[in-house]
Amino acid sequence: MNKSEVLIACCDDKREVIADFLIRRQLCVTRTGSKEEALNYIRRHEYKVVISDMSLTEDLCSGLTIYNEAKKKDHLTGVIMIAGFMDVYHQTKLAEIDSFICVQETNNYMLDFIFSKIESLIIKNKKAEVFMCYNHKDQEMVTDIEQELKKNNVKVWIDHNSIPPGRRIKEYLCSAFDECKTVAIFQGKHGYGEFQEKEEIDIFVDRARIEDISLIPVFLKTCPQGKEISHKFIEKFKSVDFRKTKPDAMEQLIWGIKEGVKIFDKRVADQEK
């Protein structure tokens, strides 16, 4: 786990009790009791989870301001909001927040509950939204698309920045195969790469046969018209074509990924019931 993975923005006593408990659980924490300081921390650093009081000092909605800033910085940051009560107003405001906890006192049961929420948020948010499956001869063009996806808050798994040098490639690929929520299969001037076709596409096709995962065929601008490589299973899925000006290919790709993520998350939630 990385440094500063949890930011705690709570009033003095509560903040220290929660921070000490999480440190004993081997989490790295940053603590503050001020809305302004919390906002500055969020703007300067990255956090996996933010824990905030609904109200800091006299500002009754300071927690919502912190929530909005955390999600603006990174929509995958988990947010846990804490309050001593919950009226109709707060219920309405908290409807979209990842987790709301009504705390009368910070006893051991409540601390364990907070820790379990943190664990579930970290596990949920570590999963990539899309696996980018491509021929390395097309890497420059695919990397441009990767950067555009990240600008639109899409969490991407791509080999060049997900596999450290010196590590076994297949080990990381197997983990990514299990965790990625959708797959974008790119085809350009050079067609499918040997590794792409034998080690990646076949595995994702097998996975898609048994579970409802979105496979998105993506034709790069350099893919020759009329010479696309066909795949009996993949061609069943609607494609995205960067050779066409309309509809906008990037918008279509993002839409496909987001819809695929919704389906994946719903299936996981149904399985956990």
- Of 195, 245, 242, 193, whose CA–CA distance to 222 is shortest? 242
Nearest to 99 by CA among 72, 69, 73, 63: 63
| 0.85 exceeded by pTM | no
CATH architecture group of domain 130-272: 3-Layer(aba) Sandwich (3.40)
Cα-to-chain-centroid distance, residue 258: 11
Q: What is the mean pLDDT of the chain?
A: 81
Give the residue range(s) of CATH 3.40.50.2300 domains in the chain: 6-126
Which segments of the chain belong to CATH 3.40.50.10140?
Answer: 130-272
- Per the listing, tokens 């696309």 go with 228
Q: Any idea which architecture 6-126 has in CATH?
A: 3-Layer(aba) Sandwich (3.40)
**pLDDT tens, residue by residue, 254-265:** 999 999 988 887
Average pLDDT of the residues in 99-103: 61
Distance CA(19)–CA(12), nearest Å, equals 11
Checking if the pLDDT of 115 tops 80, the result is yes
Q: E strand or H helix at 218, and its extent?
A: strand 214-219
